[in-house]
Structure 1
């Protein structure tokens, strides 16, 4: 069980740094072996932990499938994760959040809201849900609700216990929240606060979070193009393109395209 948990942590780190395409197959191939562990005799406490470990492996399989552009596989693994995580409220919330992100990414913010508004028990999980709820509102152009919900995300994060964070929620630290603030303001076209937040996040993200760093570069370039600052936009946009080349993430390229179109509308090429 400890080996399974350690492998999932390691593969999740690979996903963050290099993209889901680099590790999805390695995640999926471990699922059959992991599920065989459930046939072993164990105490109720150990069995519950095993179910959480298998659920989180499916959770990661869903996320890496999503990042690889395999939406059907992502939904399958998230559904399986929910089955195994019925006893684990915090993990269930994380799986629901990730399922909502698939809808948000693929142009269905209303459907995404239904997942993000599910609620959460822990302050950290609440912060994740509220931040993404704000993003969905912003995608719908509902600025007042987006900013109000973003405030809830900040408040929940301030109450979070940063010493006992499950691996599946560890990504949501102060830098990630700052990045989300920048993304929400970018969606709203509020470029001043967006540029400030994104600049801070870009400075603070380390190599271990290369994909998140790249997402922020894409958003920052978009903000500069929206402001008519094409020279800076091109510099940041080219940097984002270079960073994306080092990742195996379809999501990165999905987000790159609107920025590239925005650049082209300003007569700027990024090649």
Structure 2
């Protein structure tokens, strides 16, 4: 080969390598469509694991058939990990739905910690204020316009879940939910699913049934859009159960008999003290609403006993509401039980 040909080949190889690196940079920046363009050129030239990298990006973009084709080419070139990539993608929705089902029954689900430690101090209200502003941006300009900003917001606030309580868990869950929604609207369903999964985990930590229902509804809409109606139906059904649970926990006592039936079906393990206390308090309030003072007193006493070592503003609010209703109903035994809770605080 002549020197001119060798130089041309060298320049070509350098150009392809440069495109591969640009693909890596675009992927790190979250610009998956740009990454796909760069990796596709490198994969066409059979550069290293470019076909595997391209397939991973294409799966995240929801372009599954093309991704699978590149996986098969990568396997033929000796990159056996591409087979695992196909399997993981095909099972992604199933794993999400299994996770959602575990969340719904209250099973422990916390399986990750933030990559960074919290820096400074952030209030949940500040997190929610920024999230609401980004939601407004999404509604007006679309997910593509604001998804990078949502990720920046998430990166800044997610570390605070390790030092926060239920209010912070709820606030960060809402950011993950928005990150998933804007990723979906940006044409990246594979990116959206992990965000929805983490949003569910944090919503369960906060015992926020209404937020769980919202997340599952959004995930179902994404499945429906990407031609997975059976998975969409499962997600909607799980969301309906969460919404029903939220209804049963609410302060409105318009249908106490129905609420009692729903609440009695809820089970909580020994590790979910707050959830058990909230359920017992809601049961007591609804029994009081139908005039069953004895059962209300018994359940209220159980709630106060279970909450002995629990510090939760939400629990205290629920017990204060129960106390108000017990005084109005003349349920003196129940009032006495609740008084023990707040006497220990003084």
Structure showing greater radius of gyration is 2
